[in-house]
Amino acid sequence: DAGVTQSPTHLIKTRGQQVTLRCSPISGHKSVSWYQQVLGQGPQFIFQYYEKEERGRGNFPDRFSARQFPNYSSELNVNALLLGDSALYLCASSLASGNNSPLHFGNGTRLTVT
């Protein structure tokens, strides 16, 4: 079975631009979460969607938004990019929402903002 897939793998953008990152969960998984990982740190939670509804939002500005589609795939959008948005963006899926569901991560999208 295919794991969590993310696209693109790498992306270079200029300050002020907008970016859309995509994620396809493992087949049958209804929950998708997004994490930002800055070099040398652990991943930081951005959003979680379950059954197309937002279930959680981390401490990120309104420039960050996301959505989940009927097929459970998801997009993360970041507007007005800043240099500090340069990071590895990780998508994770799980069967269900809640405290007993291990997350399955994709390999991430490496975003560089110049």
Partner 1 sequence: SQQGEEDPQALSIQEGENATMNCSYKTSINNLQWYRQNSGRGLVHLILIRSNEREKHSGRLRVTLDTSKKSSSLLITASRAADTASYFCATYSNYGGATNKLIFGTGTLLAVQP
**One of 17, 27, 71, 107 touching partner 1 (CB under 8 A):** 107
Burial of 96 (0-12, 13-18, 19+ CB in 10 A): exposed
Instruction: Select 78 or 90, whichever has its Cβ closest to partner 1.
Output: 90
How far apart are the C-alpha atoms of 69 and 74, rounded to whole Å? 6
**One of 8, 98, 112, 114 touching partner 1 (CB under 8 A):** 98
Output the CA–CA distances (angstroms, integers) from residue 67 to 27, 70, 83, in the order listed: 18, 10, 24
Instruction: Select 64 or 105, whichever has its Cβ closest to partner 1.
Output: 105
Instruction: Select 53 or 62, whichever has its Cβ closest to partner 1.
Output: 53
Instruction: Tell me which residues in 11-70 interact with partner 1 (CB under 8 A).
Output: 31, 33, 35, 41-45, 48, 55-56, 58
Cα 43–Cα 48–Cα 50 angle in degrees, nearest 5: 145
Cβ partners under 8 Å of residue 62, min gap 6? none
- Residue count at the site for partner 1 (CB under 8 A)? 30
Could you list the residues that contact partner 1 (CB under 8 A)?
4, 31, 33, 35, 41-45, 48, 55-56, 58, 88, 90, 92, 94, 97-108, 110
